[in-house]
Amino acid sequence: MATFGDAERNIQRLLAIGQSFVLSGVDYIIRKSGKPTCSKGEPKTDIYVLAESKDRALLVEIKISFKKENADFIENKTNSERAELLLGPNWKELIIEATRSVASSFENKKLIYKVKGGRTEEGSITLGWKYELLNKSGGELSGVVDLTRDQVIDVYAGTHLPEDKKNASVNGEMIVNSGIANYILMNDKVSTTQEVIDSLITIEDYVDANPTVYFACKALNYRTYHKKYDGNRPLSVYVDWNVRDGKLDPVLVYDNPLDTKGNEVAAKLIKSMEKIGVETTRDIDDDLVTKPSVILK
């Protein structure tokens, strides 16, 4: 099966300079084509095309957000900056409201894995949960984000991205608004330029057909056997690992989304484990945790 990168490169090849296509009954020739880039992160547009009608009377910009057909995520590396750009100035309230709507699921999660649980490996201790935006529900720690139609369009198009992401560079040339997508392509089984064009869906039409944006919270775990975790990721809900009466005391914190990150939580967990003389989950029994129900054994 082709990777996302392979599929994207195939689309770029089909939309190379000099290729022709018909859009809305008009014959066009591609004059500029490339992948928009910026100094940090990525714009919403994956493939930029500027085409000119064969009679040279019209120019059209096609700015494609490309997703494979089985893709479900909209934003999978959400930090506070991205959340504000995607969700607006009240992003914190939206995330807090969303995570508290599934608080009972968080409270019932196992946090210490003496044995393997699902995809969580033996020896793991949960630091907290990352925040992702999806186009469909993503499990028990998932729900609907309360957004207007315009906000959903902004999420897909990238209207509120920083200037360097909106005005991205294409083949070394800065092009105004090249990073703001106006089409979505979800068909990676195309073999001609015209097939690509015929498969495009405007952002507005896609949103009208898929008006709901979901959030999903995915665990960031400290793997005690390896003393590792998957980076300093911002957490929507985190576990405040303290020591109380000589026991590990996990408290879930909902009201500081994406400002507290993995490094801070891991450092506190490790310090708390040192205080009670444990190094891995093998050393942790019911009498060393204030809430033994968080242990999977």
Co-location of 227 and 174 in the same domain = no
pLDDT of residue 85: 78
Is the residue at 84 inside a domain? Answer: yes
Question: pLDDT band at residue 81, thresholds of 50, 70 and 90?
Answer: confident
Query: Is 102 part of a structural domain of the chain?
Result: yes
Q: 2: which DSSP letter? A: -
pLDDT for the residue 167? 96
The encoded tokens of residue 277 equal: 């003389």
Looking at the structure, tell me whether residues 185 and 291 fall in a common domain.
no
Same domain membership, residue 232 and residue 117: yes
Both 222 and 120 in a single domain? yes
Instruction: Supply the DSSP string of 219-243, one letter for each residue.
Output: EEEEETTTTB-S-S-B-SEEEEEEE
Indicate whether 144 belongs to any domain.
no
Whether residues 185 and 220 share a domain: the answer is no
Helix (H), strand (E), coil (C) string for 63-132:
EEEECCCCCCEEECCCCHHHHHHHHCCCHHHHHHHHHHCCHHHHHCCCCEECCCECCECCCEEEEEEEEE
DSSP letter, residue 289: B
Specify whether the CB–CB gap between 169 and 54 falls below 8 A. no
User: Is there a contact between 78 and 130 (Cβ–Cβ < 8 Å)?
Assistant: yes
Nearest Cα to 198, choosing from 69, 68, 62?
Answer: 62
pTM: 0.81
Q: Which residues of 76-102 are buried (b: 16+ CB within 10 A; e: fewer)?
A: eebbbebbebbbbeebbebbbebbeeb
Position 22 confidence tier, pLDDT thresholds 50, 70, 90: very high
Judge if 260 and 220 occupy the same domain. Answer: yes
Domain limit, last residue, from 166, 189, 209: 209
Residues 126 and 221 in one domain: yes
User: For residue 184, how many other CB atoms are within 10 A of its CB?
Assistant: 22
At 268 the pLDDT is 98
Determine, yes or no, domain membership for 33: yes
User: Within 10 Å of residue 112's Cβ, how many Cβ atoms?
Assistant: 22
pLDDT per residue over 97-145, tens digit each? 999 999 999 999 999 999 999 999 999 999 999 999 998 887 889 998 8
Q: What pLDDT score was predicted for residue 159? A: 87
Same domain, 29 and 116: no
Q: 277 versus 164: which is more confidently predicted?
A: 277
Domain assignment present for 148: no
Question: What residue numbers bound the domain in which 258 lies?
Answer: 74-135+213-296
Q: Of 26-30, 46-50, 74-78, 260-264, give the lowest mean pLDDT range.
A: 74-78
Give me the pLDDT at residue 139, please: 81
Count of the separate structural domains present in the chain? 2
- pLDDT value for 71: 67
How high is the pLDDT of residue 46?
96
CA 198 from centre of chain: 27
pLDDT confidence of residue 270: 98
Stretch 216-240: mean pLDDT, rounded?
A: 97
- Per-residue pLDDT band for 248 (boundaries 50, 70, 90) equals very high
Q: Is residue 131 part of a domain?
A: yes
Q: What is the pLDDT of residue 40?
A: 83
Residues 114 and 229 in one domain: yes
CA gap 51, 30 in Å, rounded = 4
pLDDT tens-digit map of 24-70: 999 999 999 999 999 887 899 999 999 999 999 999 999 999 987 76
| Selected residue with higher pLDDT from 2 and 207 | 207
Question: Within a 10 A sphere around the Cβ of 4, how many other Cβ atoms?
Answer: 13
Residues 6+ apart with CB under 8 A from 266: 127, 222, 229
Asked, for residue 29, whether it belongs to a domain, the answer is yes
* Mean pLDDT (whole number) for 1-19: 91
* H or E element in which residue 20 lies: strand 20-23
Is the same domain home to 121 and 242?
A: yes
173 shares its domain with 286: no
